[in-house]
Amino acid sequence: MTRKIAFGMALATLLGLGACGYSPGERAVTGGLLGAGAGAGVAAVTGGRPATGALIGGGVGAAGGALTAP
C-alpha cells in the first residue's frame, strides 16, 4: 500500500511540474488543479479516499507549479 501512495505522490508531482502558465501564481493554480485531479484518481484506484488524495495532490501540484520556472 505504501508503494501505491508513493506512486500517487510522484505522479501528482510530475503533473504539477508540467503545469501551464507564465507567472508563479498561474502555475500554482494550474499545478494545484492537475495535482488534485491526479491525487483523487490515484486514491480512488488504490482504495483510498479521493478527497484526501485530492488535498495532498493539490498541495504538491501547487507547490511544484509555484516553484518551477516557466
Going from N- to C-terminal start, the domains of the chain cover: 2-67
More confident of the two residues 10 and 66:
66
User: Whole-prediction pTM value?
Assistant: 0.69
Q: At what angle do helices 2-17 and 50-67 cross, to 10 degrees?
A: 40
Cα–Cα distances (Å) from 2 to 41, 48, 55, 66, 67, in that order, read 16, 11, 18, 27, 26
- Residue 66's pLDDT is 86
pLDDT digits (tens, 9 = 90+) for 11-69: 666 655 555 678 888 888 888 888 898 888 888 888 889 999 999 999 998 888 888 87
Distance CA 45, CA 67 (A): 29
Angle at 5 between CA 8 and CA 16, to 5 degrees: 25
